[in-house]
Amino acid sequence: DQQVKQNSPSLSVQEGRISILNCDYTNSMFDYFLWYKKYPAEGPTFLISISSIKDKNEDGRFTVFLNKSAKHLSLHIVPSQPGDSAVYFCAANSGGNEKLTFGTGTRLTIIP
Amino acid sequence: KAGVTQTPRYLIKTRGQQVTLSCSPISGHRSVSWYQQTPGQGLQFLFEYFSETQRNKGNFPGRFSGRQFSNSRSEMNVSTLELGDSALYLCASSLLQRGAGEQFFGPGTRLTVL
């Protein structure tokens, strides 16, 4: 049972445009959501997070939006840069514990 | 500050053998979690240790075990290896005592079972 889903395995975006990565979840107990970025041969790197009490969190070029009623979150990257090309994972946890449930990832390719 | 380190980085074993992987968390981090990454299943949570105690456990068979030492370093062990255990094993550490904080991942150990 995949509780966190990233339905787009891949996404290509022109450099300078907006990249939008989507994530859906089914477990209503999740109360904290995170986005990680992963390059080949490296571990995931934390990007940005959002608590379920908020609907938006912004950090530089990265903004995460949370729609609790739809159980959906998205990551916006503006403007997209070639260095953003990587696999992006959405993750969630609940009750303040360390167990993260990950989505299967979206490979983002930024076209120069 | 040094990041999370994992040793070895690559490992080749045969079916039936056992393996031990090591993780050193970021200095001051007391929580260490382990994840398995495979192409088909993505990143799956194995277990989490805090102050030498297993605090959370994922849905993996008993062949997968771990421990944490007083200096927060952690090891995970897989006994009676199967072909399906071939994966990237990632260790992550975090500072907060009770979740809701980002975890910092190491580069992983790539295990190949032949």
- CB-based contact (8 Å) between A49 and chain B? yes
For residue B41, what pLDDT is reported?
78
Instruction: Looking at the complex, report in whole angstroms how far the Cα of residue A78 sits from the nearest Cα belonging to chain B.
Output: 22
**A16, A22 in Cβ contact below 8 A?**
no
Nearest to B6 by CA among B109, B103, B113, B86: B109
Question: Which residues does A54 contact at the CB level (< 8 Å), separation at least 6?
Answer: A66
**B101, B1 in Cβ contact below 8 A?**
no
Question: Which residues does B1 contact at the CB level (< 8 Å), separation at least 6?
Answer: B26, B27
**Tens digits of per-residue pLDDT, A8-32?**
999 999 999 999 999 999 999 999 9
- From the list B43, B48, B104, which residue is nearest A46 (CB)? B104
Contact list, B51 vs chain A (CB under 8 Å): none
- CB-based contact (8 Å) between A89 and chain B? yes
**Tens digits of per-residue pLDDT, B76-106?**
999 999 999 999 999 999 986 555 568 899 9
**Tens digits of per-residue pLDDT, A44-98?**
999 999 999 999 999 999 999 999 999 999 999 999 999 999 999 999 998 777 8
